[in-house]
């Protein structure tokens, strides 16, 4: 039954903090290990980067890799399409995790988590699994720098991180250097791609509720909404990958409607990168790379002067192997 619906409800019903070994294990008499396929499905809606979640926003869609699946991608597509009725377009593999101490299972057979990043446009998901779209930044409030560095970094994260760094004399210097590097302190600039490194640092410092499963709570939950198992780590991996990838491959267009204005495209990129982009230079970049073509139409929905509508030139994917789409990120 569980295998047929895909998601392991036993596991999903656990709260984020208590994660007893799923009862499914007990029914597995076999010797082998098992592999879960986990999807980070992303869309950008009204200027917010969003992720498809299930189970009261606490889990990513996932299902076991099964005999009838011809390939990993095929298995993932099967699960997501059956469970959300969303057409799964662009997908790419993210990472394969199997750390015993992070999956919430401390004994029994190991579970391998094979994660994928998928890009679509947001559509209402079916309600069977409590599927809903949520902003990335609900889970990672320190990652959105579009209106400057979030106050919570200076107010709660950094003080707590500093306490942690000082907690071990011999490691203090090393720890502080990692903090400074990942958070862009001491003259260094913010690097939006270090999503996973920041999360892992906070995890190590005990500021992530997911870390408390293997021990006692260290500090109050100050660092974003948790998820079950290591799902938030997987989401961090997906965000990091996407933030890196938009700079050298035209994947943004998978998130855009058929036609769009250049500002809409820019807002989408900004939502993903979590920071603002220099408007004029952004346009220059897009146009000189011939990534888009005019549709000939205008739209007046933008507030000011009507904007030209563009469409993605799908041909470029065939013409060029790798397209440099570096972001003209605003420094001041």
235 binds, among DNA, its own copies, none (CB under 5 to 8 A by kind): none
Which residues 297-316 are close enough to bind DNA by CB under 7 A?
298, 300, 302-308
Looking at the Cβ atoms of 112 and 222, the one nearer to its own copies is: 112
Pairwise CA distance, residues 130 & 250, whole Å:
32
- 191's contact among DNA, its own copies, none, with CB below 5 to 8 A by partner kind, is its own copies
Instruction: Confirm if 80 and 118 have CB atoms less than 8 A apart.
Output: yes
Pick left, alpha or beta for residue 88 (phi over 0 → left; psi -120 to 50 → alpha; otherwise beta).
beta
Binding-residue pattern over the window 261 to 290 for DNA, x denoting contact by CB under 7 A? xxx--------------xxxx-xxx-----
Q: Is 32 in the site for DNA (CB under 7 A)?
A: no
Structure tokens at 64: 């076991």
Binding partner selected for residue 322 from DNA, its own copies, none, CB under the kind-specific 5 to 8 Å limit: its own copies
Q: For residue 108, which of 24, 25, 3, 230 has the smallest C-alpha distance?
A: 25
Picked from its own copies, DNA, none, the partner binding residue 148 (CB below 5 to 8 A depending on kind) is none
| Residue 331 neighbours by CB distance under 10 Å | 6
Q: Are 307 and 262 in contact (CB under 8 A)?
A: yes
29 binds, among DNA, its own copies, none (CB under 5 to 8 A by kind): its own copies
Q: How far apart are CA 231 and CA 6, in angstroms?
A: 16
Q: How many residues of this chain bind DNA (CB under 7 A)?
A: 26
* Residue keyed to tokens 């208590």: 18
Closer to its own copies by CB, 72 or 221: give it: 72
Which residues of this chain interact with its own copies, rule CB under 8 A? 28-35, 65, 67, 69-72, 93, 95-101, 109-110, 112, 114, 174, 177-178, 181-182, 191, 193-194, 197, 318-322
CA atoms of 68 and 84, how far apart (whole Å): 20
DSSP 207: -
- Name the site residues for DNA (rule: CB under 7 A): 261-263, 278-281, 283-285, 298, 300, 302-308, 324, 326, 328-332
């Amino acid at each position: 039954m569980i295998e047929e619906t895909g998601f392991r409800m036993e596991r999903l019903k656990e709260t984020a903090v208590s994660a007893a070994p799923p009862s499914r294990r007990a029914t597995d008499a076999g010797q082998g290990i098992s592999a879960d396929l986990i999807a980070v499905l992303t869309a950008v809606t009204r200027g917010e980067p969003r992720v498809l979640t299930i189970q009261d926003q606490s889990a990513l869609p996932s299902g076991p890799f099964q005999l009838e699946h011809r390939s990993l991608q095929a298995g993932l597509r099967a699960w997501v399409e059956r469970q959300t009725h969303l057409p799964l377009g662009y997908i790419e593999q993210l990472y394969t995790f199997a750390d015993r101490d992070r999956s919430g299972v401390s004994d029994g057979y190991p579970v391998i988590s094979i994660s994928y990043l998928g890009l679509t446009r947001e559509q209402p998901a079916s309600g069977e699994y409590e599927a809903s779209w949520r902003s990335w930044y609900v889970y990672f409030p320190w990652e959105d720098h579009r209106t400057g560095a979030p106050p919570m970094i200076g107010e709660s994260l950094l003080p707590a991180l500093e306490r942690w760094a000082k907690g071990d004399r011999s490691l203090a210097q090393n720890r502080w250097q990692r903090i400074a590097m990942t958070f862009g302190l001491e003259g260094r600039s913010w690097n939006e791609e270090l999503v996973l490194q920041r999360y892992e640092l906070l995890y190590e410092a005990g500021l992530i509720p997911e870390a408390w499963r293997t021990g006692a709570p260290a500090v109050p939950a100050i660092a974003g909404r948790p998820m079950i198992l290591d799902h938030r780590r997987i989401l961090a991996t997906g965000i990091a990958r996407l933030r890196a990838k938009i700079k050298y491959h035209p994947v943004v267009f998978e998130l855009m409607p058929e036609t769009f204005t250049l500002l809409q495209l820019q807002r989408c990129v900004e939502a993903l990168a979590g920071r603002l982009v220099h408007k004029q230079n952004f346009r220059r970049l897009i146009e000189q790379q011939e990534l888009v073509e005019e549709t000939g139409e205008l739209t007046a929905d933008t507030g000011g002067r009507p904007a030209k509508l563009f469409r993605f030139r799908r041909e470029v994917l065939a013409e060029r192997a790798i397209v440099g789409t570096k972001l003209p990120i605003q420094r001041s």
